[in-house]
Chains A and B, each alone.
Chain A
Amino acid sequence: MIRLLAGAAVLVMLLRPEWMEPLLAPLTRNGAPAIYTQSSLLGLTLLHLALVAAATLASALVAVALAVLVTRRAGAEFRPLARTITQVGQTLPPVAVLALAVPMLGFGTWPTLLALFLYGMLPIFENALTALSGLPPPVAEAARAMGYTPRQRLLKIELPLALPVILAGVRLSAVIALSTAAIGSTVAARTLGEVIIAGLVTNNPAFVVQGGLLVGLIAILLSDALTVLERRVSPYGSSGTRA
């Protein structure tokens, strides 16, 4: 029900923003516009989502690769190092990363992508690490004893069994990236943050509410969609008997 309402609200705000005018008009002063029209909200949303998708995908690839590496016998000694790297990635405030990255990467998408990528690695890495080291010992032993090569064990047994937990990490990371991406607009990345910043700069709360609400609602929907995906790939099946 909440999902439906959120979905409807997002659609209205993106496709018929003028319908929101009566609601937002009381927030404006001195006859300022209530609806952001400098660029299309739909276009900004798509750019925002693309940025989040790219950053989360990169985080996921690197974090899962790291987790796989440190759960192999040869890579076990890099485990503390990998932990430190991902933790530092999470500890550095994205704003600081933006400030540091702009001189090297210039304004726009790239520094934002870097900040989101670093920020998003930790949840995926930690989940992947937990899932890959938590394989039930009889299952691990059976796979070895049946003549699976290490590579076959990883691809056919370990990763499929770890997938739901890894995806939970990806979901967390994607939702965090979705809300954090807005700050990318401080360095001129095209995101929904543009609307919020425009509101702050022109002292127009209507814009801030519009941008903030959109980001928040989309985050809820995204989280829901990824939860559904997680359930579908659960090795135990939603009913327990599905093949």
Chain B
Amino acid sequence: MIEIRNLSRRFGPVTAVDDVSLTIAKGEMVALVGTSGSGKTTLLRMINRLVEPTSGAVLLNGQDTAGLPAHLLRRRIGYAIQGHGLFPHYSVARNIAAVPELLGWPAAQIRERVDELLTLFGMPPADFRDRRPAALSGGQQQRVGVARALAARPEVLLMDEPFGALDPVTRAQAQADLRRIQRQLGTTTILVTHDMEEALALGDRIAVMDRGRLVQCADPATILTRPATDFVARLTGRSDRPFRLLGLLPVADLVEPGEAEGAPVDPELSAREALAECLWSGRSALPLAGGGRVTLDRLTERARGAE
């Protein structure tokens, strides 16, 4: 658990982060969004003390982080960044092993952990262990970057635009993988992004920052339906709002008994994808694989934010 208490950081006359308080529960994934210069990256970097706060405190499982030597604190916190920052002179395995090595894990345990993570990220250890980062694709480098951040089973994972350098297809896959792995490991995660779509897809809660202040922190549906300020409303995109709201919902939640014409759709799809299918095929209702149907009326009703 992380508790951020009245945290501020000033750079000369500029207040980058202004009196932010936020508590993140164990296992939760919080997406930190805002425009460039909103202070989201500075806030993230104060958690592992890459930036020292001007005032306020960060508590990690109840312990004030200011009292710990910075390098020891950082070994307990995973960190993944855009452009991954892999060490070019180390193999994939040594990159992932970096923090466990710093912590003095026995070699056999490190090897086991490296293979476990490579497998988790869908990279067969025998193929990838000994490669250099330069011999990987962008998506693979990014996965190794996240695997490295998770290697020593950190209490918290911090991510700063980790998917920023990826193409849209690779990025969607990387986001899905992160969600799956984060759920599986239960690692408390804070993710900085300027992409609202990414925040909605990944965050259990979304924290919106504007000019150094935390203006709203709530679950994705609340952010979309009840934005606290005009800035939040603009960030969520007025024209995209109904679709994003439907995107949060599995179509299975809207199922009702009955029949419908045409090919059945997968109940795992989001309501947004079901709506798209309705519009594209000109149907007013879709049958679901496994029984029942979902109607266009029900979808549009939900798109207005009705329960």
Contacts and interface: CB of A to CB of B under 8 A. Distances in A.
Contacts of B73: 147
Contacts of A235: 88-89
B85 A142 contact: yes
Contact of A146 (B89, B99, B131): B99
Interface in B66-91: 71-75, 77, 79, 81-89, 91
A145 B50 contact: yes
Interface in B86-100: 86-89, 91, 98-99
Interface in A123-164: 136, 138-139, 141-149, 152, 157, 160-161
B132 A147 contact: no
A157 B87 CA distance: 7
A237 to B, nearest CB: 6
A148 B132 CA distance: 21
B99 to A, nearest CB: 5
A148 B99 CA distance: 8
A236 B75 contact: no
B81 A161 contact: no
A241 B84 contact: no
B201 to A, nearest CB: 24
A237 B132 contact: yes
A145 B74 contact: yes
Contacts of A157: 87
Interface of A: 136, 138-139, 141-149, 152, 157, 160-161, 235-237, 240-243
Interface of B: 48, 50, 71-75, 77, 79, 81-89, 91, 98-99, 102, 130-132, 134-135, 148
30 contacts: A136-B85, A138-B81, A138-B83, A138-B84, A138-B85, A139-B85, A141-B81, A141-B85, A142-B79, A142-B85, A142-B86, A142-B87, A143-B87, A144-B74, A145-B48, A147-B72, A147-B99, A147-B102, A148-B71, A152-B102, A160-B89, A236-B88, A236-B89, A237-B134, A240-B132, A240-B135, A241-B130, A241-B132, A242-B132, A243-B131
Given A142-B87, A145-B77, A240-B134, 18 more contacts: A138-B81, A138-B82, A139-B86, A139-B88, A143-B87, A144-B74, A145-B48, A146-B75, A146-B79, A146-B99, A147-B72, A148-B102, A161-B87, A240-B135, A241-B130, A241-B135, A243-B130, A243-B132
